[in-house]
Structure 1
Amino acid sequence: MKKLVLIALMVTPLFFISCSDDDDTTEVSTTYTLDAISDSGVSGTAKFVKVDSVTTRVELQLQNTVADTIHPAHIHINDAVTGGGIAITLNNVDGNTGSSITTVTKLDDEGDTTGEAINYEGLLAFDGHINVHLSPTELQTIVAQGNIGSNVQ
């Protein structure tokens, strides 16, 4: 009986030490669909993750990308049907992994935008779409595309 009490006294503090309420970090995110354009076969998702009050992480994850190729990606103004200039240049999608991660805090300084700050909530309300291109030399060929923000019904 003394052994059971001793074991209980030794194990109980470990249980309380390992329990913690400090991990209250629930990810705030929104995921958009990127559809294949023409017969590219490339499709996937764009996930916007709120990092803090001024920073958003944009994670692209695509299937059927071209191996050993980089696929430029951008957030453009307007919906996909209307089209529009580049608002945010995203990091290239690696054709071997199909992924790209970009930290966003502002719109691009050139083209149709003014470099103004944009946060997670701003991106969710943004009148835009994402284009993923075949290669840096074939930007006119879009392989995946999807509306974001206010253009999603």
Structure 2
Amino acid sequence: MIKTYIKKLSVLTVILITFGSCDLERLDSAQEVAEGGGTLDTYTAYTIDSTDPMGSNVYGRIVFWKTDLDQTLVQISLYNTIEDTLHPAVIIDGAVGMSSTVSISLDDVDGSTGELAANKFFLIADSSFYDTIDSLDAHVSISLSPEDSTVVAEGNIGANAVPVETN
């Protein structure tokens, strides 16, 4: 019985040494980007102004990026947001103070980072959206929180404002 146990243990040891000594080729991951891939260089940026400059003074920018697939990515960067609070962001038809019809609900802005909470960019899949921004009659509005719709910042976009930067 002990001989059988030693024999089985010896065979197992030989098998483990054989597999352990095999030289496995380690492959490096391919991290190159296809030519032109991952590059965003066409954009239009607008200012988002505080509605209470003496109070919370939340302000920043909204940037619309055009992708190679003719989609539009929306990026928001805000300053003086409230830590650990989500600030809903929407695009509303008409100029600031003229309308309240929401045309696009964007992701919430994370008060801890000042950027969109879910992803860095919000995707608008409509392939013609970016090319119509200049004539868009709208503005962006940022609320205090999901529970409190008090507007803390807003800014005209499209036909209602001159972009602060474009490429």
By the TM > 0.5 criterion, same fold?
yes
% identical aligned pairs: 36
Q: Does 1:52 align with 2:72?
A: no
Q: CA deviation at 1:51?
A: 1.1
- What is the match of residue 151 of structure 1? 160
- More moved, 143-152 vs 119-128: 119-128
Larger Rg computed on CA atoms: 2
Counting only pairs closer than 5 Å after superposition, residues 4-153 of structure 1 correspond to structure 2 as 22=35, 27-38=41-52, 39-52=55-68, 54-100=70-116, 101-106=121-126, 118-139=128-149, 141-153=150-162
Q: CA deviation at 1:83?
A: 2.3
Q: CA deviation at 1:123?
A: 2.5
Give yes or no for contact 1:53–1:119 (8 Å, CA) kept in 2. no
| SS state at 1:91 partner | coil
After TM superposition, the score normalised by the length of structure 2 is 0.67
- Inter-CA distance 43–54: structure 2 relative to 1 (3 Å threshold): same
In structure 1, the gaps of 5 or more residues are 1-21, 107-116
The number of equivalent residue pairs is 121
Runs of 4 or more consecutive aligned structure 1 residues displaced over 6 Å after TM superposition: none
AA at the equivalent of 1:28: T
Q: CA deviation at 1:125?
A: 1.8
Q: CA deviation at 1:105?
A: 2.3
CA RMSD of aligned residues (A): 1.9
In structure 2, the gaps of 5 or more residues are 1-34, 163-167
After TM superposition, the score normalised by the length of structure 1 is 0.72
